[in-house]
């Protein structure tokens, strides 16, 4: 998020220190639905004791942004994320689920309405 210059709540000095919220923070939530996965597992290695896999995943992501100050959802956006591994890799080496979620997140970060919402100054009452 910082790479794209989105303002984030500063880290506390201690892991046990509570955040001091201003009341204008936004909460981002993601709900993953319609998961479609195609995977193939096989035994590999010299002794055939290592599982390897390849495959792909595609899913829908429903994003919502909730405003503390307005006490409501102020933005909703739906998109898809997908990723694949097209050659056999050791199991857990290169999981395509985190990459698919990252691809969906990139789509959210490119959305002009989302960009405007998270980079504009909050209205103070």
From first to last of its 125 residues, the chain has per-residue pLDDT tens of: 666 666 666 666 655 666 677 777 888 999 999 999 998 877 765 656 677 778 899 999 999 999 988 999 999 999 999 999 888 777 666 688 999 999 999 999 999 999 999 888 666 54
Angstrom distance (rounded) from CA 118 to CA 8: 10
Q: Does the predicted model carry a pTM greater than 0.85?
A: no
Parse the chain into domains and list their residue ranges.
2-119
CB 96 within 8 A of CB 57: yes
Angstrom distance (rounded) from CA 8 to CA 2: 7
Burial class (CB within 10 angstroms; exposed 0-12, middle 13-18, buried 19+) of 100: buried
- Residue 123 has a CB neighbour count (10 Å cut-off) of 8
* Phi, psi for 60 (deg, rounded to 5): -90, 145
Q: Give Rg (Cα) of the chain.
A: 20
Angstrom distance (rounded) from CA 6 to CA 28: 13
Angstrom distance (rounded) from CA 58 to CA 35: 6
């Amino acid at each position: 998020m910082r790479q794209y210059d989105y303002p984030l709540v500063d880290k506390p000095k201690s892991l046990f220190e509570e955040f001091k919220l201003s009341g204008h923070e936004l909460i981002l939530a993601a709900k993953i639905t319609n998961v479609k996965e195609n995977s193939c597992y096989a035994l590999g290695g010299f002794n055939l004791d290592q599982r390897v896999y390849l495959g792909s995943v595609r899913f829908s992501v429903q994003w919502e942004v909730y405003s503390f100050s307005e006490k409501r959802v102020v933005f909703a956006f739906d998109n898809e994320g997908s990723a694949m591994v097209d050659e056999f890799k050791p199991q857990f080496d290169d999981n395509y689920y985190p990459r698919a979620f990252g691809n969906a997140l990139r789509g959210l970060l490119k959305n002009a309405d989302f960009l405007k919402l998270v980079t504009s100054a909050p209205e103070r009452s």
